[in-house]
Amino acid sequence: MRLLLLAGTMEARQIAAAFSSDNRIKVIASLAGATRTPRALGVPTRIGGFGGREAFAAYLERERIGAVLDATHPFAAAMSHRSADVCHEMQVPYMQFLRPAWMPGRGDHWTFLNSEEDAARHIPEGARVFVATGRQTLERYGNMHGRTLIVRLIDSVPGHFPLPEGYFLPGTPPFTVEEEVALFRRQEIDWLVTKNAGGNASRAKLDAARHLGLPVAMIRRPLQPEGPKLETISAALSWVRRLL
Ligand code: NAP
């Protein structure tokens, strides 16, 4: 069976690894191309957008894709909606792997936001803000006058900071809680802004914020496609194997 694995997350990497030695399933992983030098997934991988809805449908047909496992990031909602719709129309089995959202616990001070633009309503002027939502969404903080934005960049050359107040910091994940605590102290961070990505790979910053008693502005997830979802790697692997 030819499985298209929509990737871009740590879990997609784990799913690819699990299938790399299974001769019954030919996995083709797909990356959007957002990371300049992605680590190899251990299965044949195509990189870059498909070129829109029609092109995605044509790709599924041309490559004789038997099922699509969508393990994209919870905020890659456009891709998930489009893939779910096209697969439904073409009667190609589709499943979304979606890690559970983070929930606040004891000692957390979270404010939920509907979008990046909301941050300015809650974070006071003068604050030093660690913005963990990446370079792509930075222009959405254009209303954060009077706050200093500190943005960590994973694999790109920092370049010019596009907003009046703030700067880029280089950093290569994974980060431990101790490292995040030290960074927040060193940078004198007052607030953390993050997307509700869920999962363990990037939660150290939340544990660090709890440890330091820092307030967190948590951006809610976008609406996901309707239909069943799987929350664990083993459930995702079983779903694929049941299709054989
Ligand atoms: P998006 O807004 O949902 O999708 C935008 C376009 O990117 C899609 O229409 C598609 O282009 C292309 N695309 C997205 N995922 C793709 C994939 N796995 N393979 C091939 N093309 C893909 O997605 P996004 O938020 O820009 O995220 C892009 C990628 O980065 C995703 O794979 C996601 O897993 C990863 N990622 C996203 C975030 C985040 O916060 N959004 C965080 C970490 C990782 P075409 O229409 O041309 O096919």
User: For residue range 30-56, what is the model confidence (pLDDT) as tens digits?
Assistant: 999 988 778 899 999 999 999 999 999
Question: Over the stretch 127-161, which tens digit does the pLDDT of each residue have?
Answer: 999 999 988 899 999 999 999 999 998 776 667 89
Task: Report the pLDDT value the prediction gives residue 37, as an integer from 0 to 100.
Answer: 79
Q: Tell me the CB-side half-sphere exposure of residue 62, using CA atoms within 13 A.
A: 7
What average pLDDT does the segment 93-102 reach?
A: 97
Burial label, 177 (beta-carbon count in 10 A; 0-12, 13-18, 19+): middle
State the SS3 of 144-155.
CCCCEEEEEECC
Which of 5, 39, 79, 193 should be mutated for ligand 1, with most atoms under 8 A from CB?
79
Query: Is ligand 1 within 6 A of the CB of residue 73?
Result: yes
Enumerate the H helices of 63-186 as residue ranges: 77-90, 119-122, 177-186
Please tell me the residue having the least CA distance from ligand 1 atom 22. 32
Please tell me the residue having the least CA distance from ligand 1 atom 30. 8
Residue 171 pLDDT greater than 80, yes or no: yes
Q: Are 219 and 137 in contact (CB under 8 A)?
A: no
Task: Report the pLDDT value the prediction gives residue 134, as an integer from 0 to 100.
Answer: 85
Which backbone phi and psi does 32 adopt, to 5 degrees?
-70, -25
Task: Report the pLDDT value the prediction gives residue 154, as an integer from 0 to 100.
Answer: 79
Q: What is the mean pLDDT of the chain?
A: 95
User: Closest ligand 1 atom, CA of 72?
Assistant: 34
Task: Report the pLDDT value the prediction gives residue 156, as an integer from 0 to 100.
Answer: 67
> Can you tell me the distance from the alpha carbon of 119 to that of 121, in angstroms, rounded to the nearest whole number?
5
Residue-range domains of the chain with CATH: 2-100+223-242 (3.40.50.720), 110-219 (3.40.50.720)
User: Closest ligand 1 atom, CA of 50?
Assistant: 48
Kindly calculate the radius of gyration of the chain based on its CA atoms and give it in whole angstroms.
Answer: 19
Strand partners, 235: none
Task: Report the pLDDT value the prediction gives residue 88, as an integer from 0 to 100.
Answer: 98
Find, among 119, 155, 114, 117, the residue nearest to 134 by Cα.
Answer: 155
Q: Are 127 and 141 in contact (CB under 8 A)?
A: no
Residue 193 pLDDT level (bands cut at 50, 70, 90)? very high
C-beta neighbour count of 20 within 10 angstroms: 12
Amino acid at 111: T
What average pLDDT does the segment 100-115 reach?
A: 97
Question: Over the stretch 197-215, which tens digit does the pLDDT of each residue have?
Answer: 999 989 999 999 999 999 9
